[in-house]
Structure 1
């Protein structure tokens, strides 16, 4: 099955944060790794899930 890629807006909606927050965290490497193809930034769903798992805290 091909890997699914998400836009910045889709990641923001999924995480319930602003797209600007996704962008700001990507720039210094605090967010999931991103790919830039044909001028568009995309995030592999697996990378987003891994980042969530690695930064999750018990509330």
Structure 2
């Protein structure tokens, strides 16, 4: 499956490809952020998602 994904101006250049089992993870330079404001926003989103997962997990365990 390597080399199937080509650089594309709209999506940015591929900087790393990781294959895990049948899945391929592609990291492109356009998705990389360097502003602290953008980094903080992403971390806040990860935190919100993590809490939602934990709440769902503990809610199902307490039923």
> Fold conserved (TM > 0.5)?
no
Q: Which has the larger radius of gyration?
A: 2
Name the structure, 1 or 2, with higher relative contact order (CA <8 Å, separation 6+): 1
The two structures have a TM-score, normalised by structure 2, of 0.28
The two structures have a TM-score, normalised by structure 1, of 0.29
